Structure 1
Amino acid sequence: MTITIDTIFKDVRQQSGVSMIGGLFSPARFNQAIQLVNLQLFSDYRARYEAGLQLADEVKDFIERKGTGSAAMIDLEELNKHIMGGSLPDDYAYYISGGAMYTTKPDCDEDEEQHFRQFEILQHADFEFRISSQLMYPTVDDPIACVEGSQILVSPIGVPACTLTYFRLPVTPVWGYTIVNTLPVYDAATSTNFEWPDILAPEIVNRTARILSVANQNDWGVQTAVQTKPSE
């Protein structure tokens, strides 16, 4: 987002119709609100993806890929006779797709061949059912996977690595400030802007103002001004 967090701050303050004096519009309240809005937006777009399996332009910057380009695959190790496991990336938020990579050597005189097979991603109960079923047991040509905690589990064994495409969470926005004459003044050096595209700035302003309005009404019965168009 090329629109700075300070512009969002000013637009929200104007729309809320309250002053920073008296704590009705404090940096702490604003930062709590924008961080909630940040997660709400991500959750909304993730739900849209789940419903239609379409990647909206607004979230394409939050897609990460392991095992493509210069990004290394996720190494897997044998956890038991049925399951391989590997650590999810620290910024992992939601699964999109993945696949197993394994090698075969058709003949002792021939070079190894690499194979890639897309995962069937399952819920934990279905994953456990498949690895306990003789009729539906996974194969290297038809592997299954499950996300559990901080790990991705893959079956069958013998798959040394996997690819993974996933959503990461957007960075946490922060309106940084210093105190000048008892009032907070914007500090770009300690601030973090939203990662969302500029087209969502009005939505961010409206959502943040609504959250602050509810909080203020609950605490002090403050009524907010009519919504106005955010500044350019």
Structure 2
Amino acid sequence: MLDLLRFGADGWGDEIAAGAAMTLAVAILAYLLGLVAGSLAAAAKLAGPAPVRWLAAIYTTVVRGVPALLVIWLLFFGGAGFVTWMAGLFGYTGRVDLPTFAVGVVAVGIVSGAYAAEVIRGAVQAVPKGQIEAARALGMHRLLILRRILVPLALRHALPGLGNVWQMTLKDTTLVSVVSLAELMRQSFLAMQSTRQAFLFYATAAILYMIMTTASELGFRALSRRAERGVRRAGGN
């Protein structure tokens, strides 16, 4: 059975490897999109005017309250319908299909951003207000305070939570297989259908996911230790 995992025309190794690469591509881009969306939503909830705070609260509450699969379906089918309707206003009579890769990235990114927003908001609120007040007393402007004080201190609190968001984002990429994007689970399913060796290919997918998640966890732990080095030295003294 292991011959089925060989690279080349006689095996599925090429397809499984390509699926793993696609999974990482979707996860990384969706995570980056989620960080941007989460940062904006957190900033809105912390310091935005009332209407903006309400919009940010609706976004984080609704997206975290519905299944990620539903978000993907709404964006894929509902988005295609909306774009087709918009195209019809300009005289186009055909159907417009959205690219599955873009839909997968945006859908998973929207979900990732809702969770990242709460992590970032909590991390910012954990920064002692005295640190900000001291920076203002020294005459530091807002951008300098953000770059030199708020972001480094908040990052120490946010990294563990953002690591969990990354793990969730990585695993949520399995859901985009429903729109036929050729990521790891989709390729494993196609291989299983072709060979009837379900255990072999799903076990291989599980091993690859474990490698990716374990490596990610080690990476975030290293980042957390790096971010907390000054704190640990101060505690030791």
TM-score bracket for this pair, using the shorter chain length: under 0.3
* TM-score (norm: length of structure 1): 0.24
* TM-score (norm: length of structure 2): 0.24
| Higher RCO (CA < 8 A, seq sep 6+) | 1
Structure with greater proportional helix content: 2
Rg larger for: 1
